[in-house]
Amino acid sequence: MSQQDLLSNTVLNLQESATLKMSKMARELKAQGHDVISLSIGEPDFDTPAFINEAAKQALDEGYTHYTPVPGLLELREAVCTKLKRDNGLTFEPTNIVVSNGAKQTIYNLCQAMINPGDEVIIFTPYWVSYIEIVKLAGGVPVLVAADVDQDYKVTPAQVAAAITDKTKFILYSSPSNPTGSVYTKKELEALAQVIGPHEHVHIVSDEIYEHIVFDGVHESIAQFESVRDRTIVVNGMSKGFAMTGWRLGYMAAPKFIAAACTKIQGQVTSGATAFGQKAAATALLADPKATQDMMRTFLGRREFVIGQLKEIEGLKLSVPEGAFYIFPDCSNFFGKSYKGQVIKDSNDLAASILNNVHLALVAGAAFGAPNCMRISYAASQEQLADACNRLKEYFGSMV
Ligand code: PMP
Ligand code: GLU
């Protein structure tokens, strides 16, 4: 019997996370002694602010080393409610909130709690890599609604209306978006809410994990609109805005029956998130939002720099991202051209060739449902970004 025979069909049919795979490949090349720059993973390069670390240390000393209630410490769920009111004008109670091991698990819980085999989930495309696989793990059928660079990667209400069927369970998207950095405006969200509103069987999962990283305009949540308020699940987490990726803390604000269903699943799977981490997260959420604004300003400076550099590469089609820390150029003008004798057919070829030849790790757009594009994460130092842009200019300049 082969090892494959010993594994489940579930895992055999599951795609490996392309973002995590690319950052692993970059680490391996680096370990072999190559000078690799990795702009592959979406992870702030800053350390967690010291006041948050201090809160965790204090919590350890105070004995927060035991199980917490499955959906999270009441103190943290109250802090999440305070934050949602303060930043988003949304009213929730602690029984609407479930804290999990990262927003990734929050989305996993939601899919397990809501999807029956054959149910459809409308996913705005380009999408974050894990959405598709998490939906499929629950037996759901992803229905892709796509927008390209000419649409600033934002779908229209007409596209969404055309995709809704009797089988639609929910609509899933991120704004600010990973991988495009696009941010839906209040007006655009209102128009989406208007077409979704009349479909009473359709929920919305609004992933707002990049809400603190918005450069132009302000972050808006679709949950503010009356027509969809009771059917919107807001997903958020500590990883991006507070540079807390390794803490594994995310949360949802959902209708109570959905929060209870997710708590039931979590109670059988993880029992909840780390106790002292939850205490620190409460401190972070209740702090003056100014505490993280310096990081945002730094990201803005980097966006300006990288966009300026990429504009010098003739043939790249760019949409200037309004948030998150990604740029998602359309590279299709280069498909069919060659680099050092190798024909580049698509974004997978391009990502592999850039990594192997100029030792720069990016992620192929195919992983995000956008095979014409490449994702560049600019959560890296100014020196690394300058070096990376030079490598890209050299690479594309040498294509024939
Ligand atoms: N949603 C989006 C759009 C993301 O980019 C990420 C990145 N990790 C997550 C959810 C999950 O974040 P985490 O599990 O670290 O909270
Ligand atoms: N969300 C980040 C990314 O897209 C982190 C890696 C992951 O969880 O996929 O790169």
The per-residue pLDDT for range 150-183, each reduced to its tens digit, is: 999 999 999 999 999 999 999 999 999 999 999 9
The pLDDT of residue 132 is 96
The pLDDT of residue 294 is 86
Alpha carbon of 190 to ligand 1 centroid (Å)? 24
Residue 291: both structure tokens together: 């505490």
CA angle 221, 191, 167 (to 5 degrees): 85
Alpha carbon of 19 to ligand 1 centroid (Å)? 11
Q: Where are the beta strands (DSSP E) in 158-314?
A: 168-174, 203-207, 232-237, 250-253
Which residues are CB-contacts of 153 (< 8 A; sequence separation ≥ 6)? 126, 147, 177, 180, 182, 319, 328, 370
CATH class of 4-47+292-397: alpha beta
Q: Report phi then psi at 110, rounded to 5.
A: -60, -45
> Is residue 108 within 6 Å of ligand 1 at its C-beta?
no
d(CA 339, CA 98): 49
Torsion sign over Cα 268, 274, 280, 284: negative
- Choices 3.30.2010.10, 3.40.640.10, 1.10.150.530, 3.30.565.10: CATH for 65-288: 3.40.640.10
The pLDDT of residue 25 is 87
Q: 340 by DSSP, 3-state: which?
A: coil
Contact present, 145 and 163 (Cβ < 8 Å): yes
Ligand 2 pocket mutation, candidates 100, 178, 363, 373, criterion most atoms within 8 A of CB = 178
Which ligand sits closest to the CA of 104? Answer: 1
Which residues are CB-contacts of 11 (< 8 A; sequence separation ≥ 6)? none
Residue 208: both structure tokens together: 């707002």
CA angle 46, 49, 53 (to 5 degrees): 120
The pLDDT of residue 233 is 98
Which stretches of the chain score pLDDT less than 70? none
Q: Where are the beta strands (DSSP E) in the chain?
A: 37-38, 97-100, 120-125, 141-146, 168-174, 203-207, 232-237, 250-253, 326-327, 338-339, 342-343, 360-361, 363-364, 374-377
Domain ranges of the chain: 4-47+292-397, 65-288
Alpha carbon of 336 to ligand 1 centroid (Å)? 34
